[in-house]
Structure 1
Amino acid sequence: MSSILVIGGDRLGNIIELLEGKGFQEIHHVTGRKNSQTGVKIPTGVQLILVLTDFVNHNLAKTVKSQAKDRKLPILFCKRSCSDIAKAFQRTA
């Protein structure tokens, strides 16, 4: 089962459909809000991390990047729009 962790944004909206179209069957979402997400832990089984840079604070992005590096997981950084996410996937293909 393909699994992705999305960090940032209160709602994912159409992004869920885009990710499902890319083959992700399990989508984990963390809003990235400062007061509720101080200790984000990457769930087991996640194959990719997507960080929505316009909705996440710098310290959280740094923490997640470090965890991804330790687990050798690919990580994408982009703005919260379907077009930017699609471009990010194209760059990694």
Structure 2
Amino acid sequence: MSVLIVGGDHLGSIPKELKKIGVDNIRHMSGRNRNVIKRGMPMTMDLIIVLHDYVNHNLANVTKKQAKECNIPVVFAKRSWSSIYKKLPDSLTNN
């Protein structure tokens, strides 16, 4: 499974915890660079996690719109593993 994380400068233990539940490809976009919105996002991912306390409204809306067009589920969470884990799809958390 592949996951794109949008937002947050430092992810801490989030990638390690995602690997524990079976995520093998993790990409991160901090969202600070304005060119991220213009270039677009890699839409070959299985899930997008938006760290909503670290992105601006425009980036959150663009991410949500592009994901919807590509039928990719989006999770909006704070930058803590407990917040992310609670919002992950059941298919990931029931390993």
So what's the TM-score if we normalise by structure 1?
0.87
Q: Which moved more, 1:30-39 or 1:9-18?
A: 30-39
Q: Which residue of 1 aligns with 2:69?
A: 70
SS at match of 2:28: strand
- What is the TM-score normalised by the length of structure 2? 0.86
Q: How many equivalent pairs are there?
A: 90
1:30, 1:7 → 2: CA distance? 5
Q: Please name the residue that 1:25 is paired with.
A: 24
Pairwise CA RMSD of aligned residues?
1.5
CA contact (8 A) 1:40 1:64 kept: no
User: Is contact 1:4-1:27 (8 Å) kept?
Assistant: yes
Say yes or no: does 1:83 pair with 2:87.
no
> CA distance change for structure 1 residues 35 and 68 in 2, over 3 Å: closer, same or farther?
closer
Q: What's the % identity of the aligned pairs?
A: 42
Bigger helix fraction:
2
